[in-house]
Amino acid sequence: MPRKRSTWSARFSEPVDERVKRFTASVAFDRRLAKYDIQASIAHARMLAARGIISRRDLAAITRGLTRISKEIDAGRFRWSLDAEDVHLNIERRLTALVGEAGKRLHTARSRNDQVATDVRLWLRAEIDELRALVSQLEKVLLNQAERHAALIMPGFTHLQVAQPVTFGHHLLAYVEMLERDRERLLDVRKRLNKLPLGAAALAGTSFPIDRARVARELGFEGLCENSLDAVSDRDFAIEFCAAAALAMVHLSRLAEELVLWSSPRFGFVRLPEGYTTGSSIMPQKKNPDVAELVRGKSGRTLGALVTLLALMKAQPLAYNKDNQEDKEPLFDAVDTLKDSLAIFAGLVGGLEPVPQAMRAAVLEGHATATDLADYLVRKGVPFRDAHGIVARAVREAERAGTDLASLPVPTLKKFSAKIGADVAKFLTPEGSVAARRHPGGTAPSEVRKAIARARKRLAR
């Protein structure tokens, strides 16, 4: 029995080797583009009919056939074929089987090169819209937690050493800022990808009198890819998305790392919701932060996707090359990974329970108000560098005494500077420390609440 030939096989005297067929086929993963392939094909057919390139009768048949195919795919009844190689030829072959000659006319004035470039842009545009909504949702969850704990004292760290008191709400707002930048970057990517490649055909455009602007309007593109060579070979938008996704996952990974640390008995700052932890097969006491650890681990996948696409494109001559088939799996995986991580983190963060006693105990262990004592001396007229040295000596005394700087008696503190008076006590408490930072971006509870209000207003736009 002779082997089936490809759509383009009239040029060849031998059929494609079966191993080559499996090696070059992409239908196993690019079938997720089917919805957008059909959407773009209908817009293309309408334009062809409007320009008199195909008949209205052909348009009706094509539209009817593609609508049926869409329903078959949605219902899981569509039969995907390796012989048809990719999503585009699978749909075209089924269309021709349904409507005959009209189906063969659909590919007039286009190529799979500009077709796939259009499909991927349509798909990624929709995914970005979903991702931005998921980022917003996680921001709202963080804001809710920050509002509940705007005045909860915890240690702020540098070098993972206790540095200064902050509030839990202020700490969580740092991640809101990161995520908001991620949301903005995704919007920037969307703006740049939202240009129509269709009409570039294989690489040089087409000799048919097409109306690209009409297709762009129907598909919601804000402009046209201006150069046909670039239109079919550009994957900047995919690389740029993967860069934005990788950075977003790095932000989630940083938060994941803190949750792993904070939930360990050595810190004990938070309790994780049980639905987002797992046990041990051998140690019955364990409650492992597996979700946070997996998000931390999955950040490597998005970093890998970015590097893969950069390596894929770095040596390609113009215009389209088969290498570009390899753009989809890393891009798809980056989208899936980021979507899953954002969605699951919203539930994890929403169920966090801080442990105030543990946080306060940690603040009191690290001389966290040392800078406040230096600032106090500066306000008394001591140059900051001198104040820094005075406080450093006081800290050494506190360590010799086995206590925190804030617990040293005023007479002891006065040994280091005559400028220190009884009023110093209110500046050395964690509450006094955070309350003193009353400026935009500061950790004072009043400023935290203002920042939350600004962030909510921003998300509402």
Report the Cα 269 to chain-centroid distance in Å. Answer: 27
In 264-289, which residue ranges form alpha helices assigned H by DSSP? none
Out of 55, 264, 280, 407, which one is annotated catalytic?
280
Query: For residue 107, what are the contacts with CB-CB under 8 A and spacing of at least 6?
Result: 92
Measure Cα distances from 104 to 30, 89, 117, 410 in Å: 22, 11, 21, 91
Annotation says 159 is catalytic: yes
* Cβ-proximal residues to 117 (8 Å cutoff; 6+ apart), any chain: 197, 198, 200, 225, 231, 232, 234
| DSSP E strands, 159-263 | 161-167, 195-196, 223-224
Q: How far is 176 from 188, CA to CA, in rounded Å?
A: 18
Out of 159, 207, 281, 439, the active site residue is 159
| Phi/psi of residue 172, nearest 5 degrees | -65, -30
Q: DSSP letter for 288, please.
A: B
Active site residue 280: yes
CA distances from 354 to 93, 153, 168, 358, 429 (A): 59, 11, 8, 9, 20
Torsion angle of C-alpha atoms 251, 252, 254, 255, degrees rounded to 10: 120
Cα separation, 402 vs 423, in Å, equals 23
* Beta strands 195-196; 153-158: pairing state: unpaired
Query: For residue 177, what are its two tokens?
Result: 């800022």
The burial class, CB within 10 Å (0-12 / 13-18 / 19+), for 197 is buried
CA distance 319 to 328: 18
Torsions phi, psi for 224 (to 5 deg):
-115, 145
Residues assigned a catalytic role: 159, 280
